[in-house]
Amino acid sequence: MLKRVHFPPSVLPYLLVAPQVAITIVFFIWPASQALYQSLLLEDAFGLSTKFVWFENFTALFSDDQYLDAFKRTFVFSLSVAVVSMSAALLLAVMADRVIKGTTAYRTLLIWPYAVAPAVAGALWMFLFDPTLGIVAYVFDMLGYTSWNFRLNGNEAMVLVVLAAAWKQISYNFLFFLAGMQAIPKSLIEAAAIDGAGPGRRFWTIVFPLLSPTTFFLLVINMVYAFFETFGIIHAVTKGGPAKATEILVFKVYNDGFVGLDLGSSAAQSVILMAIVIGLTVIQFRYIERKVEY
C-alpha cells in the first residue's frame, strides 16, 4: 500500500492540470457530447428541420441488415488485420533478435512504415495492385491469374485493404515483440536448450508463452487500430466498395453522415463505436496487469 501524502491545499495543482483538462474538454468531451446529443435527433438532409426522436436512430440501426453486415465485416477486417500484422511482426522480431551485425540499421528500417500516413500507404498499395497499372497485378497476370481486379471483386478488395492496413501496423507490433523478447532472460532459453528443446520448440514452449502479455496488449491495440484508424486506407483504396464489400463501421459513419447526410444515424453509429472502444480499453486495463514474472 502506498501511503497517502498530504499537502496543504493550493491552487497550483489545479492550474497545472488545467491545460490538460481544457484540451480534453475541447477535443474530446465536447465533441463526444455533441455526438451523443445528435444521435437522438432526426434531421433532414438540408438541416432545415430537426426533431428529437429519442433512441429511434439506434433501433433503426439494429434492425438494418446493412448495418449488421458492416458490423460483421468490421469484425472480420480487424481480426484479419490484427492476425496478419502480428504474425508478420513476430516473425520479423524473431529474426531481428538473431541478427548479430547491423542490428540498429535493420531495426530502424523495419520501423519506417509506421511513419507513412494511412492515406499514403493506401495509395501505395492501390497502385501496386491496380488491375491495369499495378506491378503486382502484372505479376499475377504472368502467373496466369488474369482475373485479379479488386475494383470488381469484393473479396479481393478486402484482402487488399487488410494487407495495406496490416503492413502499416507491422512496425509497431515489431517494436513491442522485440522489446518483449529481449526482456526474457537469456538463461531461460539456455536452460531450455540444455533440456533438449530445439529452436522451434523453445519458441513455442518458452518464448511465445512468456510473450503472451505483449501479444494480448497488441491484439487490443491492433483491433482498435483496425476499427478506427484505417479510414484513410479504405478511403484511398476502395472507398468502401465494391458494393460495400470493404465498408467497415468507421467508413459507414462517414458515408452515411457526410455523403448521405443522415446526420442522426451517423451520430448514433459513432456513439456505438465509442461504446466499443471504451469496452476494449476496459478489457485492456483489466487484464493487461496480469503480467508474467520472470
Partner 1 sequence: MAQVEIKGVEKVYPNGFKAIHGVDIDIAEGEFVVLVGPSGCGKSTLLRMVAGLERVTAGTIRIGERVVNDLEPAQRDIAMVFQNYALYPHMSVFNNMAYGLKIRGMSKAEIADRVQKAAEILELSSEQLTRRPNQLSGGQRQRVAMGRAIVREPSVFLFDEPLSNLDAKLRVQMRVEIKKLQERLGITSIYVTHDQVEAMTLGHRLMVLNEGNVEQLGTPIELYEKPASQFVAGFIGSPSMNFMDARIGAGGDTVELPGGVSLPLDGAGGREPGRAVVLGIRPEHLEATTGSDVASLRVDLVELLGADTLIHGHFGDDKADMTVRLQGTSTLRPGDLYPCAVDPAHLHLFDPDSGRRI
Per CB under 8 A, residues contacting partner 1 are 185, 187-188, 190-198, 201, 205-206, 209-210, 212, 292-294
Torsion of CA 72, 77, 80, 82, to 10 degrees: -110
For residue 254, the minimal CB distance to partner 1 (Å) is 44
What is the Cα–Cα distance from 205 to 199, expressed in whole angstroms? 10
* Closest to partner 1 by CB, 133 or 292: 292
* Closest to partner 1 by CB, 132 or 187: 187
Q: Are 164 and 125 spatial neighbours (Cβ–Cβ below 8 Å)?
A: yes
* Closest to partner 1 by CB, 75 or 208: 208
For residue 136, the minimal CB distance to partner 1 (Å) is 41
* Closest to partner 1 by CB, 191 or 277: 191
Q: Are 262 and 216 spatial neighbours (Cβ–Cβ below 8 Å)?
A: no
What is the Cα–Cα distance from 230 to 235, expressed in whole angstroms? 9
For residue 101, the minimal CB distance to partner 1 (Å) is 10
* Closest to partner 1 by CB, 46 or 294: 294
For residue 184, the minimal CB distance to partner 1 (Å) is 9
Query: Count of residues for the chain?
Result: 294
Q: Which residue intervals of the chain are DSSP H helices?
A: 12-24, 30-38, 56-62, 65-98, 103-111, 118-129, 135-142, 154-182, 186-194, 199-202, 208-210, 212-228, 231-237, 249-254, 263-287
For residue 198, the minimal CB distance to partner 1 (Å) is 8
Q: What are phi and psi of 64, to 5 degrees?
A: -95, 115
∠ CA 85-86-87, nearest 5°, is 95
For residue 200, the minimal CB distance to partner 1 (Å) is 12
* Closest to partner 1 by CB, 159 or 210: 210
Q: Which three cell numbers, joined as nine digits, stand for 62?
A: 439494429
Q: What are phi and psi of 176, to 5 degrees?
A: -70, -40
End-to-end alpha-carbon separation of the chain, Å? 23
For residue 110, the minimal CB distance to partner 1 (Å) is 24
* Closest to partner 1 by CB, 14 or 294: 294
